[in-house]
């Protein structure tokens, strides 16, 4: 089974509008972390936001917020007031103890966001 599922290969949003990028995950560990990264065409993965499984409140970082619904195993990224520079690939990732000592990230397949002027 897929650990991280991103069902939207591509999304379009008008500049200054808000957009939600979907992410669902699958784990049996009670303790895990969820991350969102942005990857522009240059290739670098840029860390955006983190949510721990025990965090009571949804994470926020500037224009980014994470809509964490634990029972539904979803961790959607909300970008408010979209800017042209937000056009990029967005990846959801999970870190879980059962991945071993490495605690490596498991990534979804990504969503290509295009912001329209």
Please identify, among the stretches 11-19, 62-70, 77-85, 94-102, the one whose residues bind another protein according to the rule CB under 8 A: 94-102
Q: Which stretch binds another protein (CB under 8 A): 23-31, 61-69, 76-84, 95-103?
A: 95-103
Residue 102 touches another protein, criterion: CB under 8 A: yes
Residue 33 · residue 99 · CB < 8 Å: no
Distance separating alpha carbons of residues 116 and 21, to the nearest angstrom: 16
**SS3 state of residue 84:** helix
Cβ of residue 44: shortest distance to another protein, in angstroms? 4
110 binds another protein (CB under 8 A): yes
Distance CA 36, CA 76 (A): 9
**Which of 9/117 has CB closer to another protein?**
9
Distance from the first to the final alpha carbon of the chain? 38
Residue 22: burial class (beta carbons within 10 Å; 0-12, 13-18, 19+): middle
Question: Using the rule CB under 8 A, is 4 a contact of another protein?
Answer: yes
Q: List residues near another protein by CB under 8 A.
A: 4, 35, 37, 42-47, 50, 91, 93, 100-110
């Amino acid at each position: 089974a897929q650990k991280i599922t991103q069902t939207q290969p591509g999304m379009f949003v008008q500049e200054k509008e808000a957009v939600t990028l979907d992410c669902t995950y699958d784990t049996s560990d009670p303790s895990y972390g969820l991350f969102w990264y942005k990857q522009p065409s240059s290739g670098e993965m840029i860390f955006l936001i983190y949510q721990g499984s025990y965090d009571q409140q949804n994470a926020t970082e500037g224009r980014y917020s994470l809509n964490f619904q634990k029972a539904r195993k979803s961790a959607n990224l909300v970008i408010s007031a979209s800017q042209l520079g937000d056009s990029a690939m967005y990846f959801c990732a999970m870190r879980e103890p059962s991945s071993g000592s490495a605690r490596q990230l498991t990534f979804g397949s990504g969503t290509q966001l295009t912001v329209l002027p």
